[in-house]
Structure 1
Amino acid sequence: MFSRPLRQTLTLLAAVALTMTGASACGSGDAVEASSAGDELAGAKFVIGSKDFTENIVLGKIAVHLLKAHGAEVVDKTDLGGTAPNRKALESGSIDMYWEYSGTGWIEHLKNTEPIHDSAEQFTSTAEADLAKNKIHWIGPTPLNNTYALAIRSEKAQELGVKTVSDVAELSRTKPEEATVCIETEFSTRDDGLPGLTKAYGMTIPKDRVALLDTGVVYTETDKGQTCNFGEVFTTDGRIAALGLTVLEDDKKFFPNYNAAVTVRQETYEKYPALETVLQPVIAKLDDATMQKMNSRVDVEGQEPGTVATEWLDENGFLGR
Structure 2
Amino acid sequence: MREPAARPRSSHAVSRRLPWLLACAFMLAGCGLQPASQFIPEVSAGPELEKYPGFDGAEITVSSKDFTEQLVLGKMTSLVLSAAGAQVTDKTNIKGSVNARLSMLDGEVDVMWEYTGTAWIVYMGHPDPIADPAEQFQAVADEDLAQNQIVWTRPAPLNNSYAIAVKQATADKYGLVNISDITELPVAERTFCLEAEFINRNDGFVGMKQTYGFTDADIPPGNVQSMDTGLIYNRIGGSCTFGEVFDTDGRIPANGLVTLTDDKHFFPIYQPALTVRQEIYQRSPQIGEIFADLAARLTTDVMRGLNAQVDVDGRDPVYVAEDWLMEQGFLAS
Paired position in structure 2 for 1:283: 295
CA distance in 1, matches of 2:70, 2:43: 25
Write out aligned runs for 1:258-277 (5 A). 258-277=270-289
The answer for the alignment partner of 2:131 in structure 1 is 117
Q: Which residue in 2 is equivalent to 1:256?
A: 268
**What SS does the aligned partner of 2:203 have?**
coil
Distance across 1 between alignment mates of 2:279 and 2:199: 34
Q: Is the deviation greater in 72-81 or in 155-164?
A: 155-164
- Whether the aligned pair in 2 keeps the contact of 1:98 and 1:264 (CA below 8 Å) is yes
Alpha-carbon distance between aligned partners in 1 of 2:331 and 2:131, rounded to the nearest angstrom: 36
Provide the rounded CA distance (Å) in 1 between the counterparts of 2:113 and 2:196: 20
Return closer, same or farther for 1:62/1:186 CA change in 2, 3 Å cut-off. farther
CA RMSD of aligned residues (A): 2.8
Query: Following TM superposition, by how much is the alpha carbon of 1:65 offset from its aligned partner in structure 2, in angstroms?
Result: 0.7
Assess, with a 3 A threshold, how the Cα gap between structure 1 residues 71 and 191 changes in structure 2: closer, same or farther: farther
Write out per-residue CA displacement over residues 272-296 of structure 1, whole angstroms, 9 at most, x where no aligned residue. Answer: 3232133222112212232222122
SS at match of 1:75: strand
Partner secondary structure for residue 81 of structure 1:
coil
Letter in structure 1 aligned against 2:133: S
Aligned residues: 286
* Dislocated runs of 4+, deviation >6 Å: none
Q: Which residue number in structure 2 is paired with residue 24 of structure 1?
A: none
- Mapped partners of 1:208, 1:136: distance in 2: 44
Over residues 83-135 of structure 1, what are the superposed CA-to-partner deviations in whole Å (9 max), with x where a residue is unaligned?
22221221222322221122222222222233322222221122112222332
Corresponding residue number in structure 2 for 1:54: 68
Deviation of 1:141 after TM superposition, in Å, equals 1.0
Aligned pair partner of 1:33 in 42, 52, 64: 42
Q: Counterparts of 2:305 and 2:322 in 1: how far apart (Å)?
A: 14
Shift of 1:32: 4.2
Partners of 1:102 and 1:81 in 2: how far apart?
19
User: Residues 94-105 of structure 1 correspond to what in structure 2 (within 5 A)?
Assistant: 94-105=108-119
Give the Cα separation in 1 of the matches to 2:92 and 2:196.
20
Structure 2 letter corresponding to 1:59: L
**Mapping of residues 75-224 of structure 1, within 5 Å:** 75-157=89-171, 162-168=176-182, 175=187, 178-184=189-195, 187-188=198-199, 191-203=202-214, 204=216, 206=221, 209-214=224-229, 216-223=230-237
Does the CA contact (< 8 Å) of 1:108 and 1:191 recur in 2? no
For structure 1, the residue ranges without an aligned partner over 5 or more in a row are 1-29
The 1:82/1:196 distance shift into structure 2, 3 A limit, reads farther
Q: Letter of the 2:204 partner, please give it.
A: G
- Is contact 2:236–2:242 with CA below 8 Å preserved after alignment? yes
Cα distance between partner residues in 1 of 2:195 and 2:282: 36
- Shift of the alpha carbon at 1:145? 2.1
Structure number with higher helix proportion: 1
Structure 2 CA distance for partners of 1:155 and 1:77, relative to 1, 3 Å: same
Instruction: Please point out which of 304, 307, 310 is paired with 2:322.
Output: 310
Range 253-262 or range 35-44, more displaced: 35-44
Opposite residue 52 of structure 1, the aligned amino acid is D
What is the one-letter code of the residue matched to 1:282?
L
SS at match of 2:243: strand
The answer as to whether partners of 2:156 and 2:295 remain within 8 angstroms in 1 is: yes
8 Å Cα contact 1:113-1:191 kept in structure 2: no
Does residue 241 (structure 1) correspond to residue 250 (structure 2)? The answer is no
Contact 1:138 1:262 in 2 (8 A): yes
Q: 1:112/1:269 Cα in 2 relative to 1: closer, same or farther (>3 Å)?
A: same
- 2-structure distance, mates of 1:168, 1:317: 43
Give the TM-score, by structure 2 length. Answer: 0.75
CA distance in 1, matches of 2:103, 2:184: 41
Alignment match of 1:69 (pick from 63, 77, 83): 83
TM (normalized to structure 1)? 0.77
Displacement, 1:178?
A: 4.3
Contact 1:105 1:126 in 2 (8 A): yes
Change (3 A) 1:169 1:254: farther
